[in-house]
Amino acid sequence: MGVYGEWFIMLVAGGLLALWLFRSFYRWLHQPAQVSKVTLGAGAKLDPDDENILFLEAAGYEVQSGKHRVPITIELDDETLESRLYIDYIAESADGELYIVKTARERMPMDWTGSGVRDRLFVYSLLLPECDGILFLDVKEKILRKIKFHYAE
């Protein structure tokens, strides 16, 4: 190979390296700041006779973990308040998608409007962004609804 062939290879390799460095820097620059992620533990022990678990398994989902309690500390006018969010189950579909499962409560009926679903369930989508959506389960009514939130970034 002549002198020009070696220079050509070096220029192409240098150009590819420069392009890769530029793209990496650009991606790093435009990523949102890391938010403290919630890591869930093992969750509550699963009861194999639980009607919710049996219903989810009959619908083709595998329940990964039981109830999770996510503690939340709130500062309100220099006063500290304690609260919590509950995730009933984490389930995985046959195609590998991971879902947060919320079960129906008699005391809190679901309002199936855009704003009602958003107000009740959107916080879970933000809490665990690695999940593909939320399953709302009502065993008494034999209802399983899949909810996915899409928002502009």
User: Residue 103's closest CA among 53, 148, 58, 59?
Assistant: 53
According to DSSP, the residues that pair with 145 across neighbouring strands are 136
Helix H or strand E encompassing 90: strand 89-92
Parse the chain into domains and list their residue ranges: 1-31, 51-147
Question: Could you give the CA distance from residue 8 to residue 33 in angstroms, rounded to a whole number?
Answer: 40
Q: If we measure between CA atoms, which residue out of 142, 145, 147 comes closest to residue 54?
A: 142
Say how far apart CA 9 and CA 27 lie, in whole Å. Answer: 27
Q: What's the pTM?
A: 0.69
What is the band of 91 on the pLDDT scale with cuts at 50, 70, 90?
very high
144 pLDDT higher than 90:
yes
Query: Tens digit of pLDDT for each residue in 19-78?
Result: 999 999 888 887 765 555 566 666 777 887 889 999 999 999 999 888 888 888 999 999
Whether 56 contacts 91, CB under 8 Å: yes
